[in-house]
């Protein structure tokens, strides 16, 4: 699952996992468990826990026999260290399918500001204008390029059965 933060990746992933007979591996679930067991502090602490949760997600994914993976991924053509690295995703399966969630930047910004995540994420510290700038840059990059791509517009109602059929077709 790829796309902007708050583009609906996790929401759609939860709907896809059971019908595809795959476990859901959500990086944020790992990160929240780390916040709960190790505590929350400043943004540097959050960054360290985030990188550790990236390593756990990768290890669990590599041990699985397939999974729906959701995270905010670091696009291969983007600089910086924000997001889960993607260099290992291509190793998982020759039939990998990237479900790329798209929505207008303003929709993602509004969702981001209105969602209620663990305080360890420090979401409230991110001003709307900075989010717009970051999300615009990220949206311009497009899909990660891992396997076949199924694009889903998450700003409107979508046909879950059609998405599942597209994923199955793309992985065949």
Tens of pLDDT, residue by residue over 44-103, are: 888 899 999 999 999 999 999 999 999 999 999 887 778 999 999 999 999 999 999 999
Q: What is the pTM of this model?
A: 0.92
pLDDT attached to residue 30: 97
Over the chain, what HEC string results?
Answer: CEECCCCCHHHHHHHHHCCCCCCEEEHHHHHHHHHHHHCCCCHHHHHHHHHHHHHHHHHHHHHCCCCEEECCECCCCCCCCCCECCCCHHHCCCCCEEEEEECCHHHHHHHHHHCCCCHHHCHHHCCHHHHHHHHHHHHHHCCCCCCEEEEEECCCCCCHHHHHHHHHHHHC
Q: What is the pLDDT of residue 18?
A: 97
What's the CATH number for 2-171? 3.40.50.300
């Amino acid at each position: 699952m790829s796309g902007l933060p708050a583009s609906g990746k996790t929401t759609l992933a939860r709907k896809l996992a059971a019908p595809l007979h795959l476990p859901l591996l959500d990086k944020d679930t790992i990160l929240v468990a780390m916040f709960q067991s190790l505590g929350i502090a400043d943004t540097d602490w959050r960054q360290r826990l985030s990188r550790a949760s990236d390593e756990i997600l990768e290890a669990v994914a590599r041990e699985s026999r397939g999974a729906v993976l959701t995270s905010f991924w670091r696009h291969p053509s983007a600089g910086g260290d924000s997001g889960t690295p993607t260099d290992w995703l291509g190793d998982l399966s020759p039939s990998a399918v990237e479900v790329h969630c798209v929505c207008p930047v303003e929709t993602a910004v509004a969702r981001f500001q209105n969602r209620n995540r663990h305080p360890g994420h420090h979401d409230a510290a991110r001003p709307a204008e900075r989010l717009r700038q970051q999300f615009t840059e990220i949206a311009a990059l497009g899909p990660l390029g891992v396997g076949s791509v199924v694009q889903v517009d998450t700003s409107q109602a979508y046909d879950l059965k059609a998405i599942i059929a597209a994923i199955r077709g793309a992985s065949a």
